[in-house]
A = this chain, B = another copy of it.
Amino acid sequence: MREHKIILPPDDIYPVDPWRIVQTEFLDQFMPHNETVFSVSNGYLGLRGNVDEGKPTFQRGTFINGFFESFPINYGEKAFGFAETGQSMVNVPDAKIIKLYVDDEPFYLPVAHLLKYERALNMKEALLERELLWETPTGKQVLIHSTRMVSMEYRHLAVIRYNLTVLNAAANIILSSKLIHFEDEQFEHSAIHDPRKAGRFESPVFDIELQRHRDNRMIYGYRTKQSGMTMGCGVDHIIQTENVFNQHVTKAEHEVKIIYNIYAKPNSPIEITKFITYHTSRSADPRDLSDRCERTLSNAIDMGYQKIVDDQRVYMSKFWDISDIEIKTRDPRVQQMMRFNLFHVWQAAARAEGTGIGARGLTGSAYDGHYFWDTEIFVLPFLIYTEPRIARNLLKFRHSILNKARTRARQVNQKGALFPWRTINGEESSAYFAAGTAQYHINADIMYALRKYVDATEDTAFMDDYGVEMLIDTARLWYDLGAFPHGSNGEFHIHGVTGPDEYTAIVNNNLYTNMMARRNLHNAVTAVQQLQDNSPKKFIKLLRETRLEPEEIEEWKKAADGMYIPYDKEAEIHPQDDNFLKRDVWDFKNTPESKYPLLLNYHPLVLYRHQVIKQADVVMAMFLLNEEFTPYEKKRNFDYYDPLTTGDSSLSACAQGIMAAELGYDDLAERYFRHNILIDFADVGGNVADGAHIAAMGGAWLCAIYGIAGFRDDNGAFSFDPHLGGYVEHLKFSLVLRGRTVDIEMNQKETRYSMRAGSNFIIKHRGEEVALKPKESVTMSNAPA
């Protein structure tokens, strides 16, 4: 492995805490990083961790999953079938800012004299809390406590409580509660220099179509200029103080604010609760959305702040009850970071209903908020085995865009359906096809996750109602894409594709793609046959809808059975593609650290010409298709590919770590594990300011469960083979296996399996069958048999 330098933020300012991310001193240079780290969201609405006052800021951000503006994609030279329309997650109007003035002195963190400061992301309860004591230039001490939350229970609701006490004097207080429609600074319109960042729009993307003001409430209706999506945003306030002597509204083009003038008596708390709601739609009338905003706000105020917080606690305790991973190593930071990763995945996924999960969740606008294969391959396993209902929602979203995938297949001259490499609304939005549309493997990735979901949950109804149809049209694409070349003796080849490793593009017979496509084809055959057996009525309906011909099933079988799997007998490895081994090995020795990530320092032609890997490809296949490789093949492949892998993608370390664990490379496994769980907090990639790497965070769960616990779920059979290495003292987690909740606790010596709920069930521990019974525990040795 290439050694990535991991530099954690200083321990004295970011102390270790098992359930919180804490910052004890405001540091300007960590501000961009913290805006991401301290984000709160529920998968629908996300508030970036900007300071309450709005400034200073790296990027003020409020995001709504699936809410995008569209734009024509520019090409210097365009060709047939290139994606036409881009989509970019909108940074929506921002309602979270409350600006404070004391005796006309603005509270501004970088210059404020702070006697106390603590900001904490309370992961247990999904609250962002800040407490500080500010001494104004005139010596007045102001104690401020604020809490920010995006409600998990009430999807459209966010609440901020802002509590303020002048301890030692009276003072004139101004609280300016804002709704910012758009940034007033010059908008940037730039070509994207770092391909991983998002583009920006030239001008405000919204028209304001409606505004209502009444007492402490304001409601605004918006419509995006190009995509025509609509949004209502409402804000209401409850002020707890008797001393408001003036309250008025100020409007500017880019923002509106309600200004409260308050006379603060010494040591007498002032409390403002700000209720925020968003309702969005593809096309609904903003007036209707505004009515919904009115109702959400009224309900929230009726319930009151305390009930909303209590509900948040209940919701989150249910989450942690099933999803928490307790892990003990010599480094206490590991426990905190494990939860940090799980928490952010949860925040990205919990209420993502009818959408996917953006590459950076709702914490930043990198990658334009697009959905990639990240969701299915890196995030879904966690949800499948802890909150399968959410996994189902995400797979159902893919079904909802199946028609667009069919259209896309036509656009690239293929039959069946081709899921977009990156999208929000289902249309391909990749502007560089070599590392976009050419990654046909996304079809198989989604189908892989579908199969895993059904195997883990036995939700055959989902397979029948949504899954089979997707399997049919993805299988059709593979069959049409590949071919039985002349003289290949029935071998099925797939040419001109790009695998997961984007440092190699448009190759023939990418191992990962061929093997995953084979799985896709087999699963299609099986699912169609099962539907026919189990539900002839549904089967007939599907036949009609998809015009499926019996010969197609035969074709898929033939293609799957004949699938060509590249193997080099001499090297005893699986080549990543037909040409991979013919390339020169990258000159790693003479590549200084400053040249990484390579994609920012070498032309694609140079990268494509060498054996150098951005992210696990063959190694990824070995993780996903575990049972299709012998232990010897795994070792040979891993030994060959691991040193070639730069890890320039955050999606790489988890598969490498899991395979290292399986192969008994304990030190390496530990390093990948640490690397993986620290990616965001330690900002390993240097770009966490643009948002959290949700897939890598899902990878942290994979690393723990598939890596350390050695969980395997080949073909729906569940087994464990713990690899705690020298560094994990204790690991405890729960999985939902076919409706049964199983708690698993392991240490260096033994593993205890306890079934919390459900009926008798058999799993395997290190090859040995273990019969689980309700409310009972079984303890197994971790020593070699």
Docked Cα-Cα span, A433 to B609, in Å, equals: 14
Identify the closest chain B residue to A430 (Cβ): B77
Say whether A643 faces chain B, with CB atoms less than 8 Å apart. no
Question: A602: which B residues are within 8 A, CB to CB?
Answer: 80-81, 413
Cross-chain contact A412 with B76 (CB below 8 angstroms): no
A488-499: contact bitstring with B at CB < 8 Å (1 yes, 0 no)?
000001011000
Partner of A413, one of B81, B432, B433, B603: B603
Main secondary structure of the interface of A (DSSP, over half): loop
Docked Cα-Cα span, A413 to B608, in Å, equals: 13
Identify the closest chain B residue to A75 (Cβ): B191
Partner of A606, one of B72, B192, B413, B603: B413
Partner of A192, one of B75, B493, B609: B75
**If the complex has contacts A433-B605, A602-B413, A603-B433, are A192 and B579 also in contact, measured as CB distance less than 8 A?**
no
**If the complex has contacts A413-B606, A579-B579, A605-B433, are A78 and B195 also in contact, measured as CB distance less than 8 A?**
yes
Question: A86: which B residues are within 8 A, CB to CB?
Answer: 76
Partner of A609, one of B73, B79, B435, B496: B496
Question: A81: which B residues are within 8 A, CB to CB?
Answer: 602-606
Docked Cα-Cα span, A76 to B197, in Å, equals: 11
Cross-chain contact A191 with B74 (CB below 8 angstroms): yes
Say whether A631 faces chain B, with CB atoms less than 8 Å apart. no
A580-616: contact bitstring with B at CB < 8 Å (1 yes, 0 no)?
0011100000000000000111111110110000000
Query: How distant is A379 from chain B, measured CB to nearest CB, in Å?
Result: 23
Cross-chain contact A431 with B192 (CB below 8 angstroms): no
Cross-chain contact A609 with B76 (CB below 8 angstroms): no
Say whether A578 faces chain B, with CB atoms less than 8 Å apart. yes
Cross-chain contact A600 with B432 (CB below 8 angstroms): no
Identify the closest chain B residue to A79 (Cβ): B604
Query: How distant is A474 from chain B, measured CB to nearest CB, in Å?
Result: 17
For window 559-579 of A, CB contacts with B under 8 Å fall at: 578-579
Cross-chain contact B506 with A79 (CB below 8 angstroms): no
Say whether A529 faces chain B, with CB atoms less than 8 Å apart. no
Query: How distant is A573 from chain B, measured CB to nearest CB, in Å?
Result: 15
Say whether A434 faces chain B, with CB atoms less than 8 Å apart. yes
Cross-chain contact A78 with B192 (CB below 8 angstroms): yes
Question: A511: which B residues are within 8 A, CB to CB?
Answer: none
Cross-chain contact B195 with A431 (CB below 8 angstroms): no
Say whether A483 faces chain B, with CB atoms less than 8 Å apart. yes
**If the complex has contacts A72-B191, A605-B412, are A80 and B496 also in contact, measured as CB distance less than 8 A?**
no
Say whether A66 faces chain B, with CB atoms less than 8 Å apart. no
Cross-chain contact A603 with B80 (CB below 8 angstroms): yes
Say whether A5 faces chain B, with CB atoms less than 8 Å apart. no
**If the complex has contacts A191-B73, A192-B75, are A601 and B80 also in contact, measured as CB distance less than 8 A?**
yes
Cross-chain contact A431 with B605 (CB below 8 angstroms): no
For window 472-500 of A, CB contacts with B under 8 Å fall at: 483, 485, 493, 495-496
**If the complex has contacts A191-B74, A584-B483, are A79 and B496 also in contact, measured as CB distance less than 8 A?**
no
**If the complex has contacts A72-B191, A412-B605, are A599 and B495 also in contact, measured as CB distance less than 8 A?**
no
Say whether A411 faces chain B, with CB atoms less than 8 Å apart. yes
Cross-chain contact A495 with B78 (CB below 8 angstroms): no
Cross-chain contact A76 with B77 (CB below 8 angstroms): no
Question: A73: which B residues are within 8 A, CB to CB?
Answer: 76, 191
Q: List 22 A-B contacts (CB under 8 A).
A: A75-B75, A75-B76, A76-B83, A76-B86, A76-B430, A78-B193, A78-B195, A79-B432, A80-B601, A81-B604, A412-B603, A413-B606, A433-B604, A438-B605, A495-B583, A495-B609, A496-B605, A496-B606, A496-B609, A505-B506, A506-B605, A578-B579
Given contact pairs A76-B431, A493-B582, enumerate 19 new A-B contacts (beta carbons under 8 Å): A72-B191, A74-B75, A75-B75, A76-B430, A76-B432, A77-B195, A78-B193, A79-B432, A80-B599, A81-B603, A414-B606, A485-B582, A485-B584, A495-B582, A495-B583, A495-B609, A506-B608, A578-B579, A578-B582
Instruction: List 10 A-B pairs, minimum CB-CB distance, nearest first.
Output: A76-B431, A81-B603, A74-B74, A496-B609, A77-B432, A73-B76, A412-B603, A77-B431, A413-B606, A77-B195
